[in-house]
């Protein structure tokens, strides 16, 4: 059950955004590494001159090539690639931290809910015992075997047990709401 809750908690926008940041950082890192490779480009032009001298042909053409070899750049591209790799690692760590925080928050809320649920049976038993003690002290008082102090104390204990039981029920409901919020809230 807890695994299902944790898996539900992973589908949020925050996690998806960080996952996208990690992928973008990986692609940027790859692009920065690719800057160290040589580049080649070519340009060609062909045309016709509208006005020209008769001794010169009226068409023209040219071709040019450019080869860029990143040798003397002061290791700029290496440093940029390293910085991009480090940023990728930072984004991966942030994503791992977010996953761990979500799992921790859901696990904590789940444990709080289970603790409150277990408390329900304890307070119910306490309420039943206090009610039984109240009935017993009332019967003793009615028979003249007990004092008004004993009867009043039993009444007070019954009231306190009723309050504790009601409080346990509300605490359980609150922890259920907190668990639902923890599962469904984007981080």
Q: Look at residue 183 in the predicted model and tell me its pLDDT.
A: 81
Kindly list the averaged pLDDT for each block of 10 residues, start to end, along the chain of length 187: 45 67 84 82 87 76 87 80 89 88 89 93 94 92 89 92 94 91 72
Measured N-to-C along each axis, helices 76-143 and 148-184 cross at an angle, to the nearest 10 degrees, of 160
The answer to whether 69 and 17 are in contact (CB under 8 A) is no
The H-or-E segment that residue 155 falls in is: helix 148-184
Helices marked H in 10-147 — which ranges?
13-34, 76-143
Go through the domains of the chain in sequence order and give each one's CATH number.
2-35+77-184 (1.20.1600.10)
Q: What is the pLDDT of residue 185?
A: 65
The CA distance from 181 to 67, in Å, is 59
| Cβ–Cβ < 8 Å for 48, 59 | yes
**Contact at 8 Å (CB) between 9 and 103?**
yes
pTM beyond 0.75: the answer is: no
């Amino acid at each position: 059950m807890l695994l299902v809750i944790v898996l539900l908690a992973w589908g949020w926008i925050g996690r998806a955004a960080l996952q996208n940041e990690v992928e973008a950082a990986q692609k940027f890192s790859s692009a920065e590494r690719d800057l160290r490779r040589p580049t080649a480009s070519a340009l060609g032009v062909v045309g016709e001159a509208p006005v020209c001298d008769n001794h010169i042909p009226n068409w023209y053409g040219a071709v040019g090539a450019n080869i860029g070899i990143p040798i003397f750049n002061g290791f700029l591209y290496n440093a940029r690639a390293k910085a991009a790799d480090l940023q990728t690692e930072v984004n991966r760590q942030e994503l791992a931290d977010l996953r761990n925080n979500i799992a921790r928050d859901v696990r904590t809320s789940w444990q709080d809910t289970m603790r409150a649920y277990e408390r329900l049976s304890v307070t119910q038993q306490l309420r039943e015992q206090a009610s039984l003690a109240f009935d017993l002290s009332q019967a003793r008082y009615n028979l003249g075997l007990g004092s008004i102090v004993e009867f009043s104390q039993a009444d007070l204990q019954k009231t306190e047990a009723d309050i504790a039981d009601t409080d346990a029920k509300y605490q359980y409901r609150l922890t259920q709401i907190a668990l639902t919020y923890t599962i469904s809230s984007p981080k």
